[in-house]
Structure 1
Amino acid sequence: MIRIKYWIIIFSILGLGFLSVSTSAQHTEDKGHPLKVLSYNLRFGELASLEELAEFIKSENPDVVALQEVDVRTNRERAPHQNGKDFITELGFRTGMLTAYARTIDYSGGYYGIGILSKYPFEKTRKILLPVPEGSNEQRALLLADVELPTGQQFTFISTHLDHSSSKVRTIQAKAINKALKKIKQPLIIAGDFNGQPDSPEISKGMRNWLQACSPDFTIPSQNPKSKIDYIFYRPAKNWKVKNSYTPQVTLSDHLPVVAEMEIH
């Protein structure tokens, strides 16, 4: 009888140990991978040097960055200190991040478009042109990057910049965004300058199937913000958790950047 009780105790201890290990493993599996996202319209570097912009990005230590109004080898009268510079390559070099770039238009001897910086490698990148309906000012696009995390997880990160001409044009572009991204199965983040305020049709209706990760703070003009037109959206909810969001008060552009600290599960 004593020997039977002894083995019952031993098995009970082993069982508790196994339960403890299983619970610990489950807890580890549930813990998401942290990801800091930044989006910034650079205004083609008119108000700051590339060194200053890179230093700001480094100070925030983001994992991925969506950039808008990114010049490559242009010659602008309004920004002569940036003439001939390759913004995306130089920002990548100065921040130590990997780069992707999408030209949207030719401009003043070079290119004008959108970019992505990333700490992590890309499985692939691609550009999708957005519609240019009547009343549009210029061609706009999506830049998509499938980002590979050290955990083996992947997510699709998208930078965009919608037309500033009218809400009608942006609503058409928002519809095109949803159609273009509908078939992507892995977790998504889309960030950029949407040129629409939160109650505009292109945001309130056009992006209603997305969750917003950024703070509601105004983003333009940077010196005295009165409107919000810069966003970070994500989906699906089950793959993401937003830990924190804020709008850095930095005046290196006419826009304020937006930041979200997230976890991917």
Structure 2
Amino acid sequence: MEGLAAQQADLIGLQEVKLPEDNSAWLAQQLNMPYVQLVPHKGLDDKGFPYYGGAILSRYPFTQQETLDLQTQGRVAQYVQVEVDGQRLVFCNGHYYWYPGPSPERVKQVQLLLDWLGKLPPDRPIVAVGDFNGMPETPAIAKRCCEAQIALMRDRFTSAYAAYHGHEPEYTCPTPLKKRRSLQRRVVKYLVNAWIHRNLRPWRGTLDYVFINQHLRVQNCQLILTEPAPNDRTLYPSDHFGIAAELEIVRRSP
């Protein structure tokens, strides 16, 4: 909460909001952000509750709210429309198909997202944030035809971090957050990563992005939530770093 408060953000996208406890409501209250759109994912635990969801926190009232069924793994994308200085803006948040490495299912989800956002008016500023679970060189994020996922996004949108720095972050995941896992689970995860990435070193990479369309300009973009708790070097805000972007709406000539 302290790390997010320091950003004084107007809009925040959260993935893996814990349910049914709903830590997004607590964060919104602490950050004095009165508008929240919480969308549960479709997977249920053994008690019939969604495991988690996605949430958008805002200082601006919503003039429109929409959700999109991503059709795999119970994933859902969401967007809200707000009005900033008389200009409508769409803020989209998503958490996409998880698989260690390229995946056609993730590509399908990103295509669904692009088709969905493509129905918006062509002059509408759009910010699309989230955990895309895809590296910059994987199909849904990169720009070569054989790497379609991030390529699909970059055909329509610009990565704010890459626009500001000239490259994506070295990594956004995992942070040094210490997780409680059995030795067997740690070994299995290590072997899977070694097989997928053909590397014996522990995996880390960039999975998180702030994408913008041509109606927005990047003033600043940085990784955030990169430091541990003062009294515990293994306690981090998340297993992913955050990304904060300061954006300017490109005004049309009268």
Give TM-score, length-normalised by structure 1.
0.69
Partner of 1:214: 161
> Which residue matches 1:99?
36
| 1:131/1:172 contact within 8 Å kept | no
Mapping of residues 1-265 of structure 1, within 5 Å = 54-73=1-20, 85-97=21-33, 98-105=35-42, 106-107=44-45, 109=47, 110-111=49-50, 112-132=52-72, 138-149=73-84, 151-165=85-99, 167-185=103-121, 186-204=124-142, 205-208=151-154, 209-215=156-162, 216-217=168-169, 218-223=171-176, 226-235=204-213, 237=214, 239-248=215-224, 249-250=226-227, 251-265=236-250
The amino acid that maps onto 1:118 is: S
Q: Which has the higher strand share?
A: 1
2:133 match: secondary structure = coil
Give the number of equivalent residue pairs.
193
Higher mean displacement: 156-165 or 86-95: 86-95
1:141 maps to a residue whose letter is: V
Measure how far apart 1:108 and its partner are. 5.3
Q: 1:212 to 1:178 in 2, by over 3 A?
A: same
> Do the aligned partners of 1:126 and 1:145 also contact (CA within 8 Å) in 2?
yes
Identity of matched residues, %: 29
Helix, strand or coil at the partner of 1:214: helix
Paired residue secondary structure (1:113)? strand
Alpha-carbon distance change, 107 to 58 in structure 1, aligned in 2, over 3 angstroms: farther
CA distance in 1, matches of 2:90, 2:129: 11
Q: Residues 239-263 of structure 1: CA distance to partner in whole angstroms, max 9, x if unpaired?
A: 2110111112132111000111111
How far, CA to CA, are the matches of 1:253 and 1:86 in structure 2? Answer: 15
Instruction: Specify every segment of 5 or more residues in structure 1 that has no aligned partner in the other structure, as ranges.
Output: 1-53, 74-84, 133-137
CA distance change for structure 1 residues 87 and 108 in 2, over 3 Å: closer, same or farther? farther
Query: Could you tell me how far apart the structure 2 residues matched to 1:264 and 1:207 are?
Result: 20
Q: Which has the higher helix share?
A: 1
1:226 CA displacement:
2.7
- Aligned residue identity for 2:220: N
- Which residue of structure 2 lines up, in the alignment, with residue 77 of structure 1? none
Return the structure number with greater relative CO, CA threshold 8 A, min gap 6.
1
Alpha-carbon distance between aligned partners in 2 of 1:108 and 1:210, rounded to the nearest angstrom: 39
Mapped partners of 1:161, 1:212: distance in 2 = 16
1:177-215, Cα deviation, whole Å (9 max, x unpaired): 111111111111100000000000011122122111125
Q: Which AA in structure 2 matches 1:202?
A: A
Per-residue deviation, 1:163: 1.1
Partner of 2:146: none
TM-superposed deviation, 1:107: 3.3
TM-score normalised over the length of structure 2: 0.72
Which amino acid letter does the alignment assign opposite residue 64 of structure 2? K
Contact 1:72 1:88 in 2 (8 A): no
Shift of 1:55: 2.2
Shift of 1:223: 2.0
- Does the 8 A contact of 1:131 with 1:176 survive in 2? no
CA RMSD between the two structures: 1.7
